[in-house]
Amino acid sequence: MTARCISSATPSVVVGFALALSFVSAAAADSSSPLLASYYRQHMAIIGGNVYGWRRDDPPVKMRVKGVQVAVGNRRYYVLTPTGTVLVFKGLHIVPSKTLAGIVRFAAGLDGVLGVDRIGILWAKARAHYQARRLAENVRTAAVGDGTNYYVTRSGALFVRGAAHRGQYGNGQLTRTKTFVQTATNVAQISAHTGHAILLKKNGDVFGTGGNIYGPVGWHGIGDKAVRWSLILRGAKAIATGASHSHAIMRDGTLMAWGRDYGLKPVPVMKNVKAVAAGSYTTIALKTDGSLWQWKHGRPPRKILPR
């Protein structure tokens, strides 16, 4: 079964609740986990099986939908349902429309949605009236940046396409391509945001490339841009990046931060962290006790759920 574009009047393709849950550990885009999402000033979370969405520092709003993954894009909220359908909300209280079906994981951002189906085919969906386009096979996960898109194959090969002017490819290239170019191997996760990206290797090493005015990709190219993947830290198990700061969850559950208002050297900010996501100025984190925290970079974390 492959993914397809569907309208709000078309029945969704049932993938199965067990199949969708089997991919819950896969990270997506700006988040370390399908349970959290943050992009610019919009945020989402799945807490205790409930889906929440909110903007800025507003209180989270419980949404009337069940989901196994959340994501946010250009003023839109996305939820992957247990049946494999990606729903798009143009507002927290607006009835959603269906954008992709037969999906087990997806990523969203400025360019739209990248979805991976159960046999590893990558699909792209730009706007509501466009048909989904098949992009690649044997894909495990993907990320949507601001004009630059990424996907990781099941073997760990990283492919990049789109804007390259800030060094987003990580191979020294500064000219965009229309086709995907391989730029790294042994990759476990990729996270992208405003003109930069960080990746997590299978051995726990974290690398960064791209725009680096405030240091979200570490020391290399600080004040301008890094054009090649450069090592930031070792021993991580998950990553997330925002507009000007980045995070890594270490193997012992410690959350590290670097970039704007943190400095170039990763510093610990919280322990017992299960998942993290980063937006423009904000970080949201889910702790192992089920509590949700939010803060602006450089400031102390505050608990927002449960109230």
The confidence band for 274, taking pLDDT boundaries of 50, 70 and 90, is very high
**What is the rounded distance in angstroms from the CA atom of residue 162 to the CA atom of residue 298?**
31
The confidence band for 215, taking pLDDT boundaries of 50, 70 and 90, is very high
Classify 215 in phi/psi space as left (phi over 0), alpha (psi -120 to 50) or beta.
left
Percent of the chain predicted with pLDDT > 70:
89
The confidence band for 110, taking pLDDT boundaries of 50, 70 and 90, is confident
β-strand partners of 114: 107, 124
Q: In the prediction, which pLDDT does 142 show?
A: 96
For residue 183 the two structure tokens come to: 């730029």
**What is the rounded distance in angstroms from the CA atom of residue 242 to the CA atom of residue 262?**
13
C-alpha dihedral, 43 to 82 to 28 to 296, nearest 10°: 20
Q: In the prediction, which pLDDT does 30 show?
A: 61
Q: In the prediction, which pLDDT does 75 show?
A: 84
pLDDT, average across residues 294-303: 93
Question: Residue 241: which of 171, 166, 143 has the closest Cα?
Answer: 143
Least confident residue range of 14-28, 159-173, 208-222:
14-28
What integer best gives the mean pLDDT of the chain? 89
| Strand 187-192 to 50-55 pairing | unpaired
Our separate counts of H helices and E strands in the chain read 1, 28
DSSP letter assigned to residue 290: S
- pLDDT tens for each residue of 66-76: 999 999 987 89
Whether the predicted pLDDT of 94 surpasses 50 = yes
Least confident residue range of 17-26, 69-78, 113-122, 199-208:
17-26
For residue 135 the two structure tokens come to: 């992009």
The confidence band for 17, taking pLDDT boundaries of 50, 70 and 90, is very low
CATH of 17-305, one of 2.130.10.30, 3.30.460.20, 2.40.50.140, 3.40.50.10540: 2.130.10.30
pLDDT, average across residues 276-303: 95
DSSP codes joined into one string, 110-145: TTEEEEEETTS-EEEE-STTSPPEEEESSEEEEEE-
**What ranges do the domains of the chain cover?**
17-305
Q: Are 164 and 155 in contact (CB under 8 A)?
A: no
Whether the predicted pLDDT of 127 surpasses 80 = no
Asked whether the CA dihedral 173, 174, 179, 185 is positive or negative, the reply is positive
